[in-house]
């Protein structure tokens, strides 16, 4: 192990030590409050451009496996924990978390006071940071951070979206009841698994696909995926979404929810430190239920900027009263900010996929 520094753009720094991967990496540092799910976090495309800090002090106790990945690679820029577990135990594990990080060439740091770091981020907000095992000079690190692009105004979708259209799990969808077109802005595998399980043949399209390309398969519904970065920067998706309104049912999650809000005439804003974790309570006004949700976002839809005669909020975050879900009063459009496919409850929010199925059932008939 080698000495490492985490240097924040406001000049605060934390010392620790790296695993075998050394060098430098930079991005927006955020904290995640989940106790487990680290493999899903690492492979979630929504974390592209970010350094993730885990607030739970011991990470890696159950290792990693090949089934729980959410994409084809690790997307985080860096990984910070208090302590890595050296002896994992799980019958499904194929390797340790440490080995997994090293195999994917991720600069990971332990020994940092993650409680102090998290408190600092809560007080002053998510910010740019750099991890280095080579340079410990504050002036040098400060200059390097200035060159790191801000998350605001950044289009990270181009970095993570697929380049060519594909059909998810062709064999399992041969007798599917519904055909769903999914716009890939950084889609998670479990979303595709759930839609397939519910009887959907899912055609995944690159984010820059045109309305005509998507409609050429005659889909029963449109899904707009999660993804990283600033939703307002993904103008090509926002402009394209408007063409689908009133044509087919639409369901959006996370970044997809934000882009739908923008396409409906609203605005988004950056949260102070975002929502990243698996323990966020959300109230659903449709059936007056409260669910524990998994979340990963740094931006939020501003309800006051939407036309309330056309759009209503149906999900509310009980921690900070921010918008967690909207639906159109006339068109079959529904979207949520949280991740119902992650299901920390474990089934608290998966019913939302069935809402989408019901919309397609209604409009197909």
pLDDT in tens, 268-284: 999 999 999 999 999 99
Specify the pLDDT at position 169: 84
Any idea which of 42-51, 120-129, 244-253, 338-347 has the lowest mean pLDDT? 338-347
Which of 251-255, 276-280, 309-313 is predicted least confidently?
A: 276-280
Q: CA 314, CA 288: separation in Å to the nearest integer?
A: 10
Q: Look at residue 172 and tell me whether its pLDDT is greater than 80.
A: no
- Each residue of 94-142: pLDDT tens digit? 999 999 999 999 999 999 999 999 999 999 999 999 999 999 999 999 9
The answer to whether 28 and 36 are in contact (CB under 8 A) is no
**Tell me, what's the pLDDT at 261?**
98
* pLDDT over 80 (residue 5): yes
Class of domain 157-364: alpha beta
pLDDT at 175: 79
Active site residue 203: no
Mean of pLDDT over the chain: 95
- In sequence order, the 6+-apart residues with CB closer than 8 A to the CB of 137 are none
Instruction: Give me the pLDDT at residue 173, please.
Output: 67
Q: Which residue has the higher pLDDT, 203 or 176?
A: 203
The DSSP 8-state label assigned to residue 183 in this structure reads E
Please report, for residues 45, 157, 306, 339, the alpha-carbon distance to residue 188 in angstroms, rounded to integers and kept in the order given.
Answer: 7, 13, 28, 10
Percent of the chain whose predicted confidence (pLDDT) is above 70: 97
Mean pLDDT value of segment 232-245: 98
Set 9, 28, 110, 341: catalytic member? 341
Burial of 259 (0-12, 13-18, 19+ CB in 10 A): buried
Could you give the dihedral angle defined by the CA atoms of residues 312, 315, 321 and 323, in that order, rounded to the nearest 10 degrees? -60
The whole-angstrom separation of Cα 53 and Cα 30 is 6
Kindly tell me if the per-residue pLDDT of 344 is higher than 80.
Answer: no
Q: In the chain, which segments carry CATH 3.40.50.880?
A: 157-364
Active site residue 257: no
- Predicted confidence at residue 350, as pLDDT, reads 82
For residue 38, whether the previous peptide bond is cis, meaning omega lies within 30 degrees of 0, is no
pLDDT band, residue 346 (cuts 50/70/90): low
Q: Which of 276, 297, 338, 339 is catalytic?
A: 339
Q: Where in the chain is the domain with CATH 3.50.30.20?
A: 2-146
Residue 164 CA to chain centroid, in angstroms? 21
pLDDT higher than threshold 90 for residue 174:
no
Q: Is the pLDDT of residue 180 over 90?
A: yes
Cα–Cα distance between 231 and 183 in angstroms, integer?
14
Q: What is the pLDDT of residues 134-170, one digit of tens each?
A: 999 999 999 999 999 999 999 999 999 999 999 998 6
* pLDDT of 345 above 70: no
71 Cβ contact list (under 8 Å, min separation 6): 43, 44, 45, 160, 186, 187, 188, 189
Q: How many angstroms separate the CA atoms of 308 and 62, rounded?
A: 47
pLDDT digits (tens, 9 = 90+) for 33-63: 999 999 999 999 999 999 999 999 999 999 9
**Beta pairing, strands 78-80 & 50-54:** parallel
Question: CB–CB of 26/130 below 8 Å?
Answer: yes
Active-site residue, 254 included: yes
Q: List CB contacts of 319: < 8 A, sequence separation 6 or more.
A: 275, 280, 281
Options 162, 185, 200, 254, the catalytic residue:
254
Quick one: which of 302, 32, 7, 48 has its CA closest to 131?
7
Burial (CB < 10 A; 0-12, 13-18, 19+), residue 206, is middle
SS3 185: coil
Choose which CATH entry (3.30.70.270, 3.90.950.10, 3.50.30.20, 3.40.50.20) describes domain 2-146: 3.50.30.20
Asked whether the beta carbons of 207 and 241 are under 8 A apart, the reply is no
**Mean pLDDT, to the nearest integer, of 203-229?**
98
């Amino acid at each position: 192990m080698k000495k490492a520094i985490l240097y924040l753009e406001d000049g605060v720094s934390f010392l620790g030590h790296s695993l075998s991967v050394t060098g430098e990496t930079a991005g927006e540092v955020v904290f995640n409050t989940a106790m487990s799910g680290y493999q899903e976090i690492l492979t979630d495309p929504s974390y592209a451009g970010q350094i993730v800090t885990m607030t739970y002090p011991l990470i890696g106790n159950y290792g990693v496996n090949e089934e729980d990945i959410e994409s084809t690679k690790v997307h985080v820029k860096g990984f910070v924990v208090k302590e890595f577990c050296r002896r994992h135990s799980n019958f499904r594990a194929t390797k340790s978390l440490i080995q997994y990080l090293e195999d994917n060439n991720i600069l990971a740091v332990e020994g940092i006071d993650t409680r102090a770091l998290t408190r600092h981020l809560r007080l002053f907000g998510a910010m740019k940071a750099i991890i280095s095992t080579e340079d410990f000079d504050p002036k040098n690190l400060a200059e390097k951070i200035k060159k790191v692009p801000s998350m605001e105004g950044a289009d990270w979708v181009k970095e993570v979206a697929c380049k060519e259209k594909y059909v998810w799990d062709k064999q399992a969808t041969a007798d599917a009841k519904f055909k769903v077109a999914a716009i890939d802005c950084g889609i998670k595998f479990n979303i595709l698994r759930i839609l397939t399980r519910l009887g959907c043949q899912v055609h995944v399209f690159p984010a820059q696909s045109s309305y005509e390309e998507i409609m050429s398969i005659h889909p029963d519904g449109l899904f707009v995926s999660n993804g990283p970065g600033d939703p307002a920067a993904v103008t090509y998706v926002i402009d394209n979404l408007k063409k689908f309104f009133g044509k087919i049912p639409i369901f959006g999650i996370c970044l997809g929810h934000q882009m739908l809000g923008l396409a409906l005439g609203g605005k988004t804003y950056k949260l102070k430190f975002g929502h990243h974790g698996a323990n966020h309570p959300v109230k659903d006004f449709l059936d007056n239920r409260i669910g524990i949700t998994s979340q990963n976002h740094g931006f939020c839809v501003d309800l006051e900027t939407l036309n309330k005669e056309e759009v209503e909020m149906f999900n509310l975050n009980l921690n900070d009263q921010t918008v967690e879900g909207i639906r159109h009063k006339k068109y079959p459009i529904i979207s949520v900010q949280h991740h119902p496919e992650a299901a920390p409850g474990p089934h608290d929010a998966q019913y939302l996929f069935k809402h989408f199925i019901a919309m397609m059932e209604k409009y197909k008939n």
